[in-house]
Amino acid sequence: MPDPTAQTLFGIPGVAILWALTAIVFVLFGQRAYRILRAVGRGRAEARWDRLSSRLWSVVVNVGGQRRMFDNPGVGLAHLVIFWTFLFYAVSFAWSLLRGLLPFLPIPYPDDVLLFTIPMVLLSVATLAALAGAAFRRYVLVPPRLAQSRDAGLILLLITLLVVTFLVGQAAKEGLGGLSAAAAESLYTAMWWIHMVAVLGFVAYLPYSKHLHLLASPFNVFTASLATGGMPPPSEGAARLEEFTWRELFNGLSCAECGRCDRACPAFATGELLSPQDLIHDVKLMVLGRASGRDGNGSLVDVVGAEAVWACTTCMACMERCPVFNEHVPLIVQMRRHLIGEGAVGAGVQDMLMGMTRYGNSFGQSPRNRPKWTRDLGFEVKDARKEPVEYLWYVGDYASFDPRVQEVTRAAARVFHDAALDFGILYEAEQNAGNDVRRLGEEGLFEMLRDKNRAAMESAQFKTIVTTDPHTYHVLRHEYGLDGQVKHYTEVLEGLVSAGRVSTSPNGHGRVTYHDPCYLGRYGGVYDAPRHVLEGLGLDLVEMPRNRSAAYCCGAGGGRIWMEDAAAGGERPAESRVQEAAGLQGVGTMVVACPKDLVMFRDALKTTGLEGTLEVRDIAELVEDAMGATRDAVGATRDAVGATQRSDT
């Protein structure tokens, strides 16, 4: 085929036109890109350059492999195809442009390289099918919260156009369709030009549209946080653009507006109190506004609204699902820090924080009440302040103070005791570990609690910390720097069960389902230990549709448990979850491993009228029942043997 740039149009050589168009486009693109990057650069520093090999691998898997898109396999496959086609097309475009602008270069056009065009053609055909599927999903199935923007429709049309022009051009080149040589040449040239102009136009348009995500998201994935916990770096909070970090601002550019975060968010499901997608979108508008010089000078908190900022449960379902690795939770925490700094907290949270500051617990009770749950145990729990122990048990506030949870804590203590575990507690010296305080944005109070806890731990001798509270588990492990020394009690129970120190006598619970706590599952990565315990007890475990990393939050996290119920409509998360459990065939027990889950779900049973249909039990209670059943069984056997012996005499 002749060189398409050798053509003239209205007497102007094609090369010149190409140069002109390219120059205009690149100036437009460059200027806009520069302004956007400068706006992002106004944000605070944040180091995301550690562990380069892990980061690169993440890009390979999550960008190259589009892993998170496969939460729905059909969607994943279609997007993977379109993505790789786009990559090939991008290479093809750059190559063609280079050759087109510099005709003296001794390289062929990509269209003339069979090794390249064959995969291009195959991908293009596959893409047509993928595009049809994508359009069907977007316009016929209409998934909720999928932003139906002009941009979204445009990109589908554009890719179709590019694919069609490429395929038609290739067909012309191959002499298909029974065209004369001259007609085929004209067709090929026309297709080439339409294709190039379309891409050039797209490049100019890209930094004004959601398609920014094409360029931004790989970098977003590369710089994603490798730490667990969604905490921003130390700060006094953020409301204005300059107060956020560059990476927090960059989230806005990477968003592809897919809506996965909204669909997963419990706060969104509860009367749309918070939309993670809108939050990211507001960040984007702030950055782009600053880039345009129009705007972006105000407070993001005012735009998002304090109610939405407080609505987040920090469950991390959004971040778990986001295919471009956007980080919603740090934005929320930054804004909460700002609100706390202004003293703009609701009465419930304020009362809790003041009681926490003074008494070291969220119940506003005297620290002397903390160990009172140990009465009526029938044995002394070791005081880790006075004698060395193997396991230091950080009990946690709800497990210690709430009468409903104290029963479970006692069950756990009896299990530990019966299994001859060497454990002790810090009695009055234990303070709230500070996880939720931190998520509420009260860094100063968190530091104070952490210092007091560290001092208490210094004075004790222990090998491992065990906790029955996932919030405590997470913060001790990842934010006190004790990783490696902290276990959740299900991990300890798992060891006991596999060592045969807990019997597998059936205990009447039969079919059960298990709820993964947010701070144990998504935050802690602990999914299997509790399941092994349940299986070790001989229970038949049935999974809920939303299980493991897709588990649905009970709604208590992020300090929500101390806030007024603002449910404006929609279903409270705990109610939705117990309905989900009750919907499983033959399942009468929902098993939890977190004190707040216990409280939230038992309350939800009442408000949904499911009391009597479903029960909520903690793993410790089931283990204790199993141990008791063994004792009873052993006792009954002994009695029977004794009776037989007596009757023989």
Partner 1 sequence: MAGNVWIVAEHWRGTASDATRELLAVGRGLADSLGVRLEAVLLGHGMRGLAASLGPADAVLYVDHPTLADATGLVASRAVAALASERAPAVILLPTTNVSWDLLGLLPARLGVPLVNFCREVEVVDGALRVGSLLYGGKMAVTVDAGPGPVVLAILPGTGTAPAPGAPEPHVEDVAVDLADDSGVRLVAYEEPEAGDVDITQQDALVAVGRGISSEANLEVAEDLADALGGAVCGSRPVIDQGWLPLVRQVGKSGLTVKPRLYIAAGVSGAPEHVEGMKDSELIIAVNTDAGAPIFSIAHYGIVDDATDVLEALAEAVRKRKG
Partner 2 sequence: MKILVLMKMVPDIVEELEVAGDGSSLDPEYLRFIVNERDDYALEQSLLLKDRLGATVTVVALEAPEIDDVLHTALAKGADRAIRVSGVDVMAGTRAKAAALAATLPGVPGVLPADLVLSGCQAIDDLDGFVGPLLSSAIGLPYLGLVSRIKVDPAAGTAVVAKEYAGGVMGRFEVTLPAFLGVQGCEKPPRYVPIAKVRAAIAAGGIEAVPAASGPAVTPLAVGAMAKPVAAGHAEMLEGSVRDVAERLADVLAARGLI
Choice between 241 and 349, CB closer to partner 2:
349
Q: Does 307 bind partner 1 (CB under 8 A)?
A: no
- Cβ at position 35, least distance to partner 1 in Å: 48
Q: Which of 205, 310, 359, 489 binds partner 2 (CB under 8 A)?
A: 359
Closest CA to 340 of 454, 480, 436, 472: 436
Inter-CA distances, 22 with 36, 96, 99, 204, Å? 21, 12, 13, 10
As given in the structure block, the two tokens for residue 566 are 């603002």
Phi first, then psi: give them for residue 629, nearest 5 degrees: -65, -40
Helix, strand, coil percentages, rounded to 5, for the chain: 60, 5, 35
Using only C-alpha atoms, what is the Rg of the chain? 30
Residue 218 binds which of partner 1, partner 2, none (CB < 5-8 A, kind-dependent): none
Q: Could you tell me which residues are beta bridge partners of residue 514?
A: 591
Q: Residue 475 in contact with residue 416, Cβ under 8 Å?
A: no
Q: Does 176 bind partner 2 (CB under 8 A)?
A: no
Q: Does 346 bind partner 1 (CB under 8 A)?
A: no
Residue 565 binds which of partner 2, partner 1, none (CB < 5-8 A, kind-dependent): partner 1
Residues 565-584 close enough to bind partner 1 by CB under 8 A: 565
- Cβ at position 345, least distance to partner 2 in Å: 5
Residue 442 binds which of partner 2, partner 1, none (CB < 5-8 A, kind-dependent): partner 2
Q: What is the Cα–Cα distance from 282 to 527, expressed in whole angstroms? A: 34
As given in the structure block, the two tokens for residue 44 are 């605070």
Q: Does 403 bind partner 1 (CB under 8 A)?
A: yes
Candidate segments 167-175, 357-365, 477-485, 614-622, binder of partner 2 by CB under 8 A: 357-365
The region that residue 325 occupies, defined by phi over 0 for left and psi between -120 and 50 for alpha, beta otherwise, is left
Decide the pairing of beta strands 540-541 and 12-13. unpaired
615-618, strands of its sheet edge to edge: 540-541, 511-514, 589-592, 615-618
- Cβ at position 564, least distance to partner 1 in Å: 6
Candidate segments 158-166, 254-262, 380-388, 444-452, binder of partner 2 by CB under 8 A: 444-452
Q: Which of 177, 364, 388, 510 binds partner 2 (CB under 8 A)?
A: 364
Q: Residue 520 in contact with residue 473, Cβ under 8 Å?
A: yes
Q: Which of 170, 350, 464, 504 binds partner 2 (CB under 8 A)?
A: 350
Phi first, then psi: give them for residue 322, nearest 5 degrees: -60, 120
Inter-CA distances, 279 with 46, 124, 249, 251, 352, Å? 20, 35, 11, 10, 27
Q: Which of 24, 176, 347, 641 binds partner 2 (CB under 8 A)?
A: 347
Closest CA to 339 of 445, 234, 441: 441
Count of residues interacting with partner 1 (CB under 8 A): 7
Q: Which of 133, 143, 289, 348 binds partner 1 (CB under 8 A)?
A: 348
Q: What is the Cα–Cα distance from 113 to 32, expressed in whole angstroms? A: 34
Q: Which of 9, 87, 226, 236 binds partner 2 (CB under 8 A)?
A: 236
Q: Could you tell me which residues are beta bridge partners of residue 9?
A: 12
Q: Does 174 bind partner 1 (CB under 8 A)?
A: no
Q: Does 347 bind partner 1 (CB under 8 A)?
A: yes
Q: What is the Cα–Cα distance from 131 to 622, expressed in whole angstroms? A: 51
Q: Does 475 bind partner 2 (CB under 8 A)?
A: no
Residue at token pair 């400068």: 38
Closest CA to 77 of 111, 127, 37: 127
Candidate segments 94-102, 342-350, 553-561, 595-603, binder of partner 2 by CB under 8 A: 342-350
Residue 348 binds which of partner 1, partner 2, none (CB < 5-8 A, kind-dependent): partner 1
Residue 89 binds which of partner 2, partner 1, none (CB < 5-8 A, kind-dependent): none
Q: Does 609 bind partner 2 (CB under 8 A)?
A: no
As given in the structure block, the two tokens for residue 382 are 């070791």
Q: Does 368 bind partner 1 (CB under 8 A)?
A: no
- Cβ at position 475, least distance to partner 1 in Å: 25
Count the Cβ atoms, other than its own, within 10 Å of residue 316.
24
**Window 387-426: contact mask with partner 2 (x via CB under 8 A):** ----------------------------------------
- Cβ at position 404, least distance to partner 1 in Å: 8
**Window 215-234: contact mask with partner 1 (x via CB under 8 A):** --------------------
Choice between 257 and 407, CB closer to partner 2:
407
Burial 503-526 (b: 16+ CB within 10 A, else e): bebebebeebbbbbbbbbbbbbeb
Q: Does 289 bind partner 1 (CB under 8 A)?
A: no
Q: Does 358 bind partner 2 (CB under 8 A)?
A: yes
- Cβ at position 45, least distance to partner 2 in Å: 21
Q: Does 101 bind partner 2 (CB under 8 A)?
A: no
> Which parts of this chain interact with partner 2 (CB under 8 A)?
236, 340-341, 343, 345, 347, 350, 353-354, 357-359, 364-366, 368, 442-445, 447-448
> Which parts of this chain interact with partner 1 (CB under 8 A)?
347-348, 403-404, 564-565, 606
